[in-house]
Amino acid sequence: MPDLLIRKLEQFTRLSALDKSALDAAAGEKRRRIGPREDIIREGDNPGQVNLILDGWACRYKQLRDGRQQIISFFLPGDLCDTHVHVLRRMDHSIGALTPVTFAEISRETLARVTAEHPRITQALWWDTLVAAAIQREWTVNLGRRIAAERLGHLLCEIFIRLRGVGLTEGHSCVLPVTQADLGDAMGLSNVHINRTLQELRGSGLIVLKGRQLTIPNLNALMRDSLFNPNYLHLDRVGRHLDANEASSQVSSGPA
């Protein structure tokens, strides 16, 4: 069930029962499960269907010739990978699982049909795509201009808020099922420095991290210290005016 995707999209706009069942059907077509460190798709492959993460964490990543490796973005449950890559001939990066991952493969055709018939889904997927782009931009700022503690704190804020948006937090806690080396690959830091930075954040009481559970006792404090501004996640319900009526209005199609 793409419950999490639906939940995420409803942060932006309400979906009708029909919209939801269409997403349901699309996500039910084909399902796969892979283990950690396995790839969903590799650099150089021909991009095929769209993948919807149902459970587990995955990431985009790229490796340099000499082995250096950078995680470009995280995919959390409810995230769609690459709604439109099929326009390009080859993947310029890989997508791999960080934990065991269950995902749905949605064919291009199915997605095209769903969006053609459900303008509000189209609009919501646009929002999702644009937010994903905004996250990528924010990572540029994060890697370019924040020192290690801010950078890592910023990432944890982002992850917590994204997970909260799909209902995967409990109180002030959520899972953080990745290794410190993974965090390093994402933040452009060494695993050793990630370790020390986590200790620093723990020491100042900003986070509690034991095993794979992260607790952020005071999210506002962590946000402040990490110079985190949630604007870029665009959680301000642009589509709220659509809530009342089920009929969609003014939904564009095409890239314009």
Partner DNA sequence: CGGTCAGTTGAGAACTTTCAACATGGGTGG
Partner DNA sequence: CCACCCATGTTGAAAGTTCTCAACTGACCG
For DNA, give the closer residue by CB, 147 or 244: 147
Applying the rule CB under 8 A, the residues between 203 and 242 that interact with a second copy are 227, 231-232, 234, 236, 238
Q: How far apart are CA 170 and CA 178, in angstroms?
A: 18
According to DSSP, the β-strands at 80-81 and 50-55 are antiparallel
Instruction: By CB under 7 A, name the binding residues for DNA.
Output: 147-149, 179-181, 184, 188-193, 195-196, 198-199
Minimum distance from residue 46 beta carbon to a second copy (Å): 11
Q: How far apart are CA 44 and CA 160, in angstroms?
A: 32
Q: How far apart are CA 149 and CA 252, in angstroms?
A: 41
| Nearest one of 191, 162, 153, 174 to 71, comparing CA atoms | 191
For a second copy, give the closer residue by CB, 247 or 256: 256
User: What residue 143 binds from DNA, a second copy, none (CB within 5 to 8 A, per partner kind)?
Assistant: a second copy
User: What residue 248 binds from DNA, a second copy, none (CB within 5 to 8 A, per partner kind)?
Assistant: none
Within 10 A of 36 (CB to CB), how many other CB atoms are there?
A: 16
Among 30, 33, 42, 84, binds a second copy (CB under 8 A): 84
Minimum distance from residue 85 beta carbon to DNA (Å): 28
Tokens of 131: 């937010």
| Nearest one of 40, 29, 121 to 85, comparing CA atoms | 40
Minimum distance from residue 190 beta carbon to DNA (Å): 4
Within 10 A of 159 (CB to CB), how many other CB atoms are there?
A: 21
Helical H segments across 89-225, by residue range: 108-117, 119-145, 148-165, 180-187, 191-203, 219-225
For a second copy, give the closer residue by CB, 161 or 174: 161
Among 17, 37, 144, 210, binds a second copy (CB under 8 A): 144
Of the listed pieces 1-9, 34-42, 69-77, 197-205, which binds a second copy according to CB under 8 A?
A: 69-77
Give the list of residues 6+ apart from residue 29 with CB closer than 8 angstroms, or none.
Answer: 104, 105, 106, 107, 110
Tokens of 21: 């069942």
Minimum distance from residue 26 beta carbon to a second copy (Å): 10
Q: Does residue number 115 form part of the binding site for a second copy (CB under 8 A)? A: yes
For a second copy, give the closer residue by CB, 172 or 225: 225
Contact 223, 230 (CB under 8 A): yes
Residue with tokens 């309400």: 14
Q: Does residue number 102 form part of the binding site for a second copy (CB under 8 A)? A: no
Interacting residue ranges for a second copy, rule: CB under 8 A: 43, 50, 60, 62, 64-66, 68-70, 72-73, 83-85, 87-90, 92-93, 108, 111-116, 122-123, 125-127, 129-130, 133-134, 136-141, 143-146, 185-188, 227, 231-232, 234, 236, 238, 252-256
